[in-house]
Amino acid sequence: MSLWFYAYFNIGYLPIICASILVNYFVYRLMQRDGVTQGKRKALLILGLIFDIGLIFYFKYYDFFIDNINHAFSTDFVLRHITLPLGISFFTFQQISFIVDAYKGEAKGYSFLEYALFVSFFPQLVAGPIVLHKELVPQFRENSRHHINYDNLSKGIMMFARGLAKKVLIADTFGSAVDVAMQKAALFPMGDGALTRVEIIILMLSYTFQIYFDFSGYSDMATGLGSMFNLKIPMNFNSPYKALSVADFWKRWHMTLTRFLTTYIYIPLGGNRKGKARTYLNIMIVFLISGIWHGANWTFILWGVIHGLAQCFNKLTSGIYKKIYHGAESLSGILGKALCGLIKAVQWIVTFAFINVAWLLFRSDSVTMWLLILRRLKFDFTDVRTEILEGFRLPKFRYVLSILHLPENDNMVFWCGFILITLAALIICLCMPNNYERKYRTNVLSLVFTWVILTLCIVSLSSVSTFLYFNF
């Protein structure tokens, strides 16, 4: 019945999910055979991952990849205009988690029927939550869940109804304003007819609430339907707009995706166990993957990068915040409480404002549209003489801007160079050991890195000015 539910939308999608289930279960069964060595299990894991990632790449990112190749190298490879199968991101991630756990020996004795139902169970099939096998399959096996439980049934109906109300009554109301505003933004990016400052603020707030009540509503509906069948589906939202930081936001928003990225990507990369620089790199990789997972558009990729940078900044400054907050707490009476409340209020305002601007990027058709809308908010970065910023020009950066479909004018090149170089300098100063403290390891990575930076230095020698201390 879950497969019927899935095929009802478009029967052409049915062979895709069935093939995905069959291949992954076949890989799982091969892993479970007696006498299979660790090396063979690892090879099977790699094959399974290649299949799953290849499947999602072909259907979700193939045209995006080819389009960017054509743009970057002036080629004319034909786009296939592939229709994206419903829920492929969700059921693929569920199966990736399953075969990884199977490789670790944490998924044993599952029948094909149990596995197929775990992947295709209709309440969470289309838009999550991303459920783990150990959360659902053991529940399938409990006989007490095979009979109607009227407490669970009534609880499920109530939760489903509230979730549906979030979607239909609240999210769709905000959505109508968002659609009109985005149409106007696409038709009139600048000049007469362009969005006013108040309209842009309305657009941002409307989409912020639309996406919250839409996705939160769906998750409530999925949980409610699960309860009707006596099955517990994990929580996916925990009042994310109460967050006082971006890190707190991601502990509350789409919690099962955060859990997946943490368990199956961040921790295997080393998490925070290999020093600060590696920790920040791992965070950026995770959020880049999160952005890519959300869609085949540079807007999603940049959205992931922005959230990653915010997460790194949050981690970098958390110690300072704790000192300030503990200092405020140490004050006695009303003054201390008021100061603590003020700190939290400022944190919430900054976090919520950031989320709004980031959601606007998430919703925009292109990065260019997002930038044009923000420019209408009267953020003027043009009142600086270009000769001051000339030194921040990055070689071949116009090529990068062209790939991202961003304006390629001098102002954009200069400002991007200034921002990137300043951020790089800040990271080096604050996060990395100086050259006297660094441990120099004689390995391939050190060799390659050394020769790359040496070559770059030699190429750049012609533009290097005289050493300052030569004048002294």
Residue closest to 90 by CA, chosen among 137, 47, 123: 123
Q: Can you give the pLDDT at residue 389?
A: 63
Blockwise average pLDDT, block size 10, the chain, 472 residues: 91 94 96 91 96 94 92 88 88 95 92 96 88 95 93 86 83 82 85 81 88 87 91 89 92 92 95 90 95 91 95 88 79 79 88 93 92 77 58 70 71 74 70 64 80 74 48 40
Q: Is residue 56 part of a domain?
A: yes
Q: Can you give the pLDDT at residue 376?
A: 80
Residue span of the structural domain in which 84 resides: 1-141
Residue closest to 135 by CA, chosen among 97, 87, 82: 97
Q: Is residue 41 part of a domain?
A: yes
Q: Can you give the pLDDT at residue 1?
A: 93
* Location of structure tokens 């072909």: 58
Other Cβ atoms less than 10 A from the Cβ of 159: the count is: 20
What domain count does the chain have?
Answer: 1
Instruction: Supply the residues annotated as catalytic.
Output: 294
Q: Is residue 284 part of a domain?
A: no
Q: Is residue 152 part of a domain?
A: no
Q: Can you give the pLDDT at residue 99?
A: 96
Residue closest to 3 by CA, chosen among 107, 81, 89, 117: 117
Q: Is residue 196 part of a domain?
A: no
Residue closest to 131 by CA, chosen among 171, 166, 90: 90
Q: Is residue 254 part of a domain?
A: no
Q: Is residue 118 part of a domain?
A: yes
Tell me the C-alpha distance between 452 and 127, whole Å. Answer: 44
Q: Is residue 7 part of a domain?
A: yes
The DSSP code sequence of 335-363 is: HHHHHHHHHHHHHHHHHHHHHHHHHHHHH
Do residues 99 and 24 touch, judged by C-beta distance below 8 A? yes
